[in-house]
Every structure is written in C-alpha cells, then in structure tokens.
Amino acid sequence: MNSNQEVIRRLSRYRNVMRKMKALGLIKVFSDNLADAVGVSPSLVRKDFSMFNLTGNKRGGYRIDDLVSKLNVLLGKDKKQKIIIVGCGKLGQALMNHNGFPRVGIRVVAGFDSDPEVLNSEAPIPILHIKKIREFIEENQIRVATLTVPEPAAQGMVDTLKKTCVKGVINFSPVSLKSSEDFLVHNMNIEQEIENLFYNIHFAETTVVKVQ
C-alpha cells in the first residue's frame, strides 16, 4: 500500500469513528480520541487533517459534524456509490444481497453472468448477460465492480472493464491481478487469507525459528 492509500484509509477510519461518536450524542472530537480509536499518534491525526486544511485546535477539538461532512466531500462519499457484480455464482449472488452495503451507502445496481440459468432481468437487482456489460456501465456511469468470476476469466474481464469508465475492481477470484496507473485492483483472495491464518497459527505454535 502506498502512502497515499494509507492516508485515505486513515481518513476513512476517522470518519467512521466520528459517525459512531455522533450516534452517542458527542459534538466535539479531539485528536487524542481519534488517535486512540484508530491506533495512531495524536500528532499524526493532526498532521493528516492539516494536510487537507481541516481545521481545529489541540485544546478546542474539532466539531464532529463539520469534520464528517468535510471528510465526506474529500472522500467522495457524498456521491452515490453504485457497484456492479461481475460473476453471479454463489459468492457473487451473496454479494448482491449483502446487507452490509446499504448501511454504508453502497448500492449494487446489477449483476452480470454468461450462464442462462442465473440471468434474470426482472429481479430487483437484475442479472444481465455479460455481453451487455459495456453498454450498462456507460449508461449508468459505473466506477467500481466486484469480480467473482472463475480464475481463467478474471484477467480478460479486467481487460474489458479497462475499456469502460470503471476505474477499479475488488477481485475475489483466486488470481492476483495487478493495478495499473488508471485502474485499481484490490485483491481479496479468501483461500489465500485462510491459508495465511493457518500458517501464522502453525508458526506461532511450532516456533521452530524466531524471525526478527
């Protein structure tokens, strides 16, 4: 992850903490609060904010409402976050109905597949034939897609998406795809993560070697 992405991730976490603080009735937040919640130093919080001209002061703190709405603009969160699901097997269909999305303002607008058995253009979230994907993307100005296609189809699908206005994908297929300058790929390889967890547990237990 580059430093830019790290800053964005922190800003997003500050924002999420503040939304929860606001739900508790709090009005102001101090850099120390955010530092504690996110696990960074208070000076880093202040540095992140000053970098984006988000104002407050060490003693008086920041107004949560102001800061959240400024962060929303900065993060593009004020815009609707429409996504499409490419590949509507079991995992793709689970994502289509994932109840964590509406809560954070993400809306799945369509799924795409080539299997006639899963196509359903009348469903609340339609599943359309993959050959319609480019037209749909341009008409609906889609920027982000999730890829839940079989491994052999993944790279070809990315090549197709790169020719549209899609600017990034979350890739669940079991192949690591690479980001390019104007197309971001975030790989979420579930089996790789589970394997790594087993390895870490195995290492912690055997402690054959100590890595410095």
Annotated binding site: 87-92
Taking residue 78's Cβ as centre, other Cβ atoms within 10 Å add up to 11
* Shortest distance in whole angstroms from residue 165 CB to its own copies: 11
Taking residue 179's Cβ as centre, other Cβ atoms within 10 Å add up to 12
Task: Name beta bridge partners: 144.
Answer: 83, 168
- Structural contact between residues 96 and 118, judged by C-beta atoms closer than 8 angstroms: no
Taking residue 71's Cβ as centre, other Cβ atoms within 10 Å add up to 21
134 Cα distance to chain centroid: 22
Binding region for its own copies (CB under 8 A)? 3-5, 7-9, 11-12, 51-52, 74-77, 79, 81, 83, 90-91, 93-95, 97-98, 100-101, 103-104, 106, 143-144, 146, 167-170, 174, 182, 184, 186, 188, 190-206, 208-209, 211-212
Nearer to its own copies, 41 or 97 (CB): 97
Annotated binding site for NAD(+): 87-92
* Shortest distance in whole angstroms from residue 116 CB to its own copies: 20
Nearer to its own copies, 2 or 116 (CB): 2
- Structural contact between residues 70 and 39, judged by C-beta atoms closer than 8 angstroms: no
* Shortest distance in whole angstroms from residue 124 CB to its own copies: 15
